[in-house]
Amino acid sequence: MTKKTLFLLAFLATSLIINAQNTVIKAGHFFDARNGKMLENQIIIVQDGKIKEVGVDLKFNKTDNIIDLSSSWVLPGLMDCHVHITVNLPYRNLKMEQMYTNESTSLRAIRGTVVARQFLDNGFTTIKEIGNDANYATADIIKAIKNGWIQGPTIIYAGKIIAPYGGQSSNVNLEHERFWSFEFIDADTPDEIKKAIRKNMYYGATTIKMVTGDNGIYNAEDIKAAVDEANKYNLKVTVHAQGGLAGTNVITGGAAGIEHGFGLNNEQLRLMKDKGIFLVGTDFSYDNWYAYGVDSATATALNNRLVDRLKRAYKIGTPMAFGTDIIVNLPELNRVESSLKVLETWKSAEIPASYILQSMTIKAAELLGIDKVRGVLESSYYADIIAVKNNPLNDIESIKTVHFVMKEGEIIRNDKK
């Protein structure tokens, strides 16, 4: 290498350092998710997709890209721990099996890209896609997002749902035996469960979802076999269960989370607290229940049951992560708007807004196993940052006023006021 080349290289390196442009966010109000408190006038410096520094009166270069959110409430990107982005059933007509037979994996994937984008645009920078996506449709959606073909949130992905024989279908005649394998893996022994986990991993799963109590109940040993196998690969196991013996076995087996848990009693909720097992309550509002096709009195009764369970879980101290599970859009509302109806249930249960926000950020990150890199706005964390127009601690529904979204340092949305 000649002296001249060396000089040129040194000059280029120096000019790169001088011109390195950070993004600087001036946050008028700032949610400290770790402590559940709102701080004032923070500055966030973002570099290479991550948060470099956060604090008051930080120094930055005039040439930096400055984003003025001084009249907004700035929060970590939200997380929904229970979504089905490739599913959409008609209003008040819940025919799951008909969808299995009428919609191909590719059609489901195309829908999934649209719904994933809706989540991102509305402030959800991370979602847990928890199965029911035909033949691994979401695995390809994740690839398309990584390739930059489309924009979408970070997706923690369950692959096919692992369940006792029959998946979540009932009354299928023998001529159509196992047609549910389009969506589920039948696994009835610890060995079959292990094999199902390995198959899901092979096709892109980053978490494991099981179902118990719909067709057959897993023993605690079955759950433990899944947890041990998943632990080898640093994956978490979360299980759809309502309560009763099915719920107790999930708790004894040591899963990371219970999905729904509509029928959990206080003793079970206490055991979950002791063992650090998360409840992902999928707390449907009246409107969500009604959308499923039940009559008005039944929708009220079912919602009241969830308000009661949510109140008890909060009082007992069961860890909770936010999850919606909406597969039917409400009239005139998109998927995220339909999903956020569940906030009405949280409000009826009088859960403090700061706790709800934590369940959508730091607590969700803990359940998903990403709490060292996402869920709070601190140095070295990914710059998943959103802003809303009103104070969500005064009314949690303010999270519906998202006007700025950044995912891993990239600005996805920045509405001019």
CA distance 79 to 83: 10
Structure tokens at 95: 């025919």
CB of 330 to Zn ion, least distance (A): 17
Residue 129 interacts with Zn ion (CB under 5 A)?
no
CB nearer Zn ion, residue 82 or residue 363 = 82
CA distance 64 to 45: 9
DSSP string computed for 276-314: TPEEE-----HHHHHHTT--HHHHHHHHHHHHHHHHHHH
Q: Which residues contact 129 (CB under 8 A, 6 or more apart)?
A: 83, 84, 85, 112, 138, 155, 156, 157, 158
CB nearer Zn ion, residue 32 or residue 80 = 80
Angle between helices 137-146 and 105-121 (to 10 degrees): 50
CB of 395 to Zn ion, least distance (A): 27
CB nearer Zn ion, residue 25 or residue 85 = 85
Q: With CB under 5 A as the contact rule, which of the stretches 3-11, 184-192, 295-303, 319-327 interacts with Zn ion?
A: 319-327
Residue 325 interacts with Zn ion (CB under 5 A)?
yes
CB of 84 to Zn ion, least distance (A): 6
CB of 227 to Zn ion, least distance (A): 20
CB nearer Zn ion, residue 89 or residue 269 = 89
Q: With CB under 5 A as the contact rule, which of the stretches 8-16, 166-174, 321-329, 358-366 interacts with Zn ion?
A: 321-329
CB nearer Zn ion, residue 303 or residue 339 = 339
Q: With CB under 5 A as the contact rule, which of the stretches 322-330, 345-353, 361-369, 400-408 interacts with Zn ion?
A: 322-330
CB nearer Zn ion, residue 69 or residue 342 = 342
CB nearer Zn ion, residue 45 or residue 162 = 162
Beta strand 402-407 pairing with 78-83: unpaired
Helices (H), 37-121: 96-102, 105-121
Question: 118: how many CB neighbours lie within 10 A of its CB?
Answer: 19
Q: With CB under 5 A as the contact rule, which of the stretches 1-9, 288-296, 324-332, 394-402 interacts with Zn ion?
A: 324-332
Closest by CA position to 169, among listed 211, 219, 128: 211
Report the DSSP beta bridge partners of residue 42: 27
- On whether the CB atoms of residues 320 and 337 are closer than 8 A, the answer is no
**88-117 positions binding Zn ion, by CB under 5 A:** none
CA distance 246 to 223: 10
CB nearer Zn ion, residue 325 or residue 344 = 325
Q: With CB under 5 A as the contact rule, which of the stretches 54-62, 268-276, 318-326, 354-362 interacts with Zn ion?
A: 318-326
State the residue number with the nearest CB to Zn ion.
325
CB nearer Zn ion, residue 95 or residue 232 = 95
CB of 108 to Zn ion, least distance (A): 15
Q: Is the torsion defined by CA of 366, 369, 372, 376 positive or negative?
A: negative
Q: With CB under 5 A as the contact rule, which of the stretches 145-153, 249-257, 314-322, 323-331 interacts with Zn ion?
A: 323-331
Binding mask 358-377 for Zn ion (x = CB under 5 A): --------------------
CB of 325 to Zn ion, least distance (A): 4
The helix/strand/coil state of 3 is helix
What is the signed CA dihedral for 205, 86, 299, 78, rounded to 10 degrees?
Answer: 60
Q: What's the 3-state SS for 102-114?
A: HCCHHHHHHHHHH
CB of 132 to Zn ion, least distance (A): 7
Number of residues that bind Zn ion (CB under 5 A): 1
CB of 82 to Zn ion, least distance (A): 6
CB of 51 to Zn ion, least distance (A): 32
> Applying CB under 5 A, which residues contact Zn ion?
325
